[in-house]
């Protein structure tokens, strides 16, 4: 029976972390999926709100891990890695803002359509 070395344990740990990262982002995508193309249909508000909340938390943690923690610990990476991390953070923040504006706009359209239907019925 082969012995488990520290290298294989480290490799297994990295794989498990990568799978956990992918699983949490897949969960967020699944929670936010009802927002895709649902302008005319009702939206499950709880599921969408939970997806947006988890997206904010995970994106904030990723920002902290990439930018803030490395400044605190004094670790430095290569310039291209820092630039890539900064570009990713800007992209994520822009995506978050776009999703928030889209969600609020979708809610307002739905609200006004409902009110117009009520006024026509009266």
Helix, strand, coil shares of the chain, percent, nearest 5, are 85, 0, 15
- 17-26, 67-76, 81-90, 94-103: range with highest mean pLDDT: 17-26
Task: Using pLDDT thresholds of 50, 70 and 90, give the confidence band for residue 7.
Answer: low
Query: What is the tens place of the pLDDT at every residue in 15-62?
Result: 888 888 889 988 988 888 877 766 566 667 788 788 888 888 888 887
Task: Using pLDDT thresholds of 50, 70 and 90, give the confidence band for residue 11.
Answer: confident
Provide φ and ψ at 75, rounded to 5°. -70, 140
Q: How far is CA 73 from CA 14, 53, 68, 79, in A?
A: 21, 28, 9, 17
CA 28 to CA 12: how far, in whole Å? 24
Provide the angle, in degrees to the nearest 10, between the axes of the packed helices 45-63 and 6-32: 140
Domain boundaries of the chain, sorted by first residue: 6-121
pLDDT > 90 in the chain, percent: 2
- Say how far residue 63 (Cα) sits from the centre of its chain: 11
Mean pLDDT of the chain: 76
CA 20 to CA 121: how far, in whole Å? 51
Supply the pTM of this predicted model.
0.56
What letter does residue 4 receive in the DSSP assignment? P
CA 69 to CA 86: how far, in whole Å? 14
Task: Using pLDDT thresholds of 50, 70 and 90, give the confidence band for residue 122.
Answer: low
Residue 5 pLDDT > 70: no
């Amino acid at each position: 029976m082969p012995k488990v070395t520290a290298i294989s344990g480290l490799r297994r740990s990295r794989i498990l972390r990568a799978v956990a990262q992918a699983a949490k982002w897949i969960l967020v995508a699944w929670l936010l999926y009802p927002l895709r193309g649902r302008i005319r249909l009702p939206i499950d508000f709880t599921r969408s709100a939970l997806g947006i909340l988890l997206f904010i938390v995970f994106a904030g943690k990723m920002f902290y891990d990439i930018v803030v923690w490395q400044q605190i610990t004094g670790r430095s990476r290569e310039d291209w890695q820092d630039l890539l991390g900064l570009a990713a953070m800007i992209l994520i923040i822009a995506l978050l803002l776009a999703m928030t504006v889209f969600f609020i706009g979708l809610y307002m359209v739905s609200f006004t359509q409902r009110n117009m239907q009520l006024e026509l019925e009266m």
